Structure formats: C-alpha cells, structure tokens
Amino acid sequence: MKAPRVTLDQWRTLQAVVDHGGFAQAAEVLHRSQSSVSYTVARMQDQLGVPLLRIDGRKAVLTEAGAVLLRRSRQLVKQASQLEDLAHHMEQGWEAEVRLVVDAAYPNARLVRALTAFMPQSRGCRVRLREEVLSGVEEVLLEGVADLAISSFNIPGYLGTELSTVEFVAVAHPDHPLHRLKRELHFQDLESQLQVVIRDSGRQQPRDVGWLGSEQRWTVGSLATAAAFVGSGLGFAWLPRHLIERELKEGVLKPLPLNQGGNRHPVFFLYANKDKPLGPATQILVELLQTFDTAPLDAPFAAPQQA
C-alpha cells in the first residue's frame, strides 16, 4: 500500500484555514505562525498537484477541487480521531468488543432498542450478536465465547438477572383439522396431528422442551421456518406471540382452543460470563438490556441522534 503524501496535520490545517476564514485566523487557533500555516497549505497543493485555495480579495476561497477534497478529509480526520480515542479507552480498560448470545425466541425489538441506545455510548466498542436455540445459549456461555447471554434456562453455576416473560401460543392455520373440530381441544386431539418443533442448537446436551406427544413430529431449524410451515397448513406449533402477531391479525394463524396449556410464559434471564470481569461497555449494555426489556414492544421508539 502506497504511503499517503499528505498528513492528517496538513488536512487539519487546511480545515482551520477554511473554517476560521483565513491564514491569520487559523494560525491563531492552531497556535502557530501565519507563515507556517501558509507553507503547510502550499506544500499540500504541491504534493497533491491540485490547487486547493484561490485568493479572492483578501480572503482564501476553496477551489472546486479543494471543496471536494476538504469534504472527504473531514471524515478522514474524524475517523483518525475516533481511532485514537478507541486506543485511549482500551488503555483505560474499555472493551473493543462485547459478545452477546441470545435465545432466538427473545424479542428482537427489545434488542434493537437496547443496542441503538448503546451505540452513542459505545466509544467504538463493537457488539457481536449471536442467536442460538434453547441449550445452544448455555453452551456458548459455558464455552467462554460470550460475555452476556439471554436464555430461558436456569444455567447451573450462574446467577442470572430475571428479565420479562415471552408468551408462546399454540397455533395452526384456520383451516387445519384441529380448528375444524369447532370445540375445545384436549391433548388427546393433538396426538394424531403433525407437530412442528424447533431444533435445539446445542451440540453437547440438546433438550426437548414443551409438549411432544404427537405421533408425527417435524423438526425445523428456526422459529421463522416453523411459522412459515404452520402458516401454510403444515401442522401446529407453540410460537412466540411477538413473532407471529401479524399472522394472527391477518388470520393466517389462529390460536388453538386448548382446554389447558395453550399459552406458555417462560421467564428469560440475563447472564454474564463469570470467568471474566465486566468491563465498562459491557456494564452499560447490561443496564440498557434491563431497561428496554420492560418497555412495551409496540411503544414508539426514536433512535438517539449520533454525535
């Protein structure tokens, strides 16, 4: 990669000349001599081979090429400043990355709100978000490749912070044979019907969760696939209400009138990696996840303005 001929200091000098209205004013702001500022800009023009400024009366005015290059240089200088800030924050113990693993049944709307609020406070810290199903979350946390985890399981050896519940609803297509019975349903009615279940993404000790009494059972890899199958008339399933709200409103899916167990409300928990102390960025994210966990999913939300 060819080394740049123009330095960041030179771009900063040009910006000061334009922003403050001239060489003398820029020299005062930069605490340099006027001749030094003039030489720096002249040297830039020689190095780039493009005129950046022209003298209009007693004022330096950008040329057309200078305006384009100056505009691009502002982003360059800003990114360099952010890079230096990130290095400083890392020296002070600020993390470069937070790794978050979440059960796929947890509402994305809550995550989006928490992460959106986190961004202006992140100081360049990245978030690596990973979705797993059932014991897959626990497995990732125990392997030490996650800093935070959201799961509906009680993970042995960990003290989780209780979050909200997620409602699961037993549903089928309105034309499904179970709905055509037109009466209250019992578990015995389900036994002869196809049940769609979600595969546990854990590899070590995958678990079966929920009622699995059907003689026929299809296992799929995601909640979205299960919703698509059931919405097409293939079987029935327990699915998170927040994920199928539109299908319920449009009549693509309809809750099964079970006499019991038609709705489930598992509690979710937020866990932290117990073998790694929480850094300041992770602590901020924890607070935001807890804050937005209690917000109604349909509440208006405006993303914070970026600095």
Domains in the chain: boundaries = 8-92, 97-165+267-293, 168-264
For β-strands 97-103 and 126-132, DSSP reports them as: parallel
pTM of the predicted model over 0.75: no
State the pLDDT confidence band at 166, using cuts at 50, 70 and 90. Answer: very high
CA distance 14 to 77: 11
Structure tokens given for 16: 């000061």
If pLDDT is split at 50, 70 and 90, which confidence band does 251 have?
A: very high
Q: How confident is the model at residue 306 (pLDDT cuts 50, 70, 90)?
A: very low
Fold classification of 168-264 is D-Maltodextrin-Binding Protein; domain 2 (3.40.190)
Q: Helices 8-20 and 34-48: crossing angle, nearest 10°? A: 120
Question: What is the spatial distance between Cα 263 and Cα 45, in angstroms, rounded to a whole number?
Answer: 71
CATH of domain 97-165+267-293: 3.40.190.10
Q: And the tokens for 190?
A: 């389900």
Q: In the numeric block, which tokens belong to residue 66?
A: 């200078």
What is the structure's pLDDT at 300? 63
- pLDDT tier at 112, thresholds 50, 70, 90: very high
Span 125-139, mean pLDDT?
Answer: 93
Question: Does 97-165+267-293 match 8-92 at the fold level?
Answer: no
Mean pLDDT across 38-54: 87
Q: Are 256 and 170 in contact (CB under 8 A)?
A: yes
Architecture of domain 8-92: Orthogonal Bundle (1.10)
Q: Buried b / exposed e across 43-54, counting CB within 10 Å, b at 16+?
A: ebbeeeeeebbe
Residue percentage of the chain with pLDDT more than 90: 53
- What pLDDT band is residue 90 in, cutting at 50, 70 and 90? low
Structure tokens at 254: 């309809």
The set of residues, in sequence order, having a beta carbon less than 8 Å from that of 181 and lying 6+ positions away, is 189
DSSP annotation string for 213-274: --SEEEEES-HHHHHHHHHTTS-EEEEEHHHHHHHHHHTSSEE--BSS-SEE-PEEEEEE-T
pLDDT band, residue 277 (cuts 50/70/90): confident
Alpha helix (H) ranges present in 126-173?
135-142
- Which pLDDT does position 299 carry in this prediction? 66
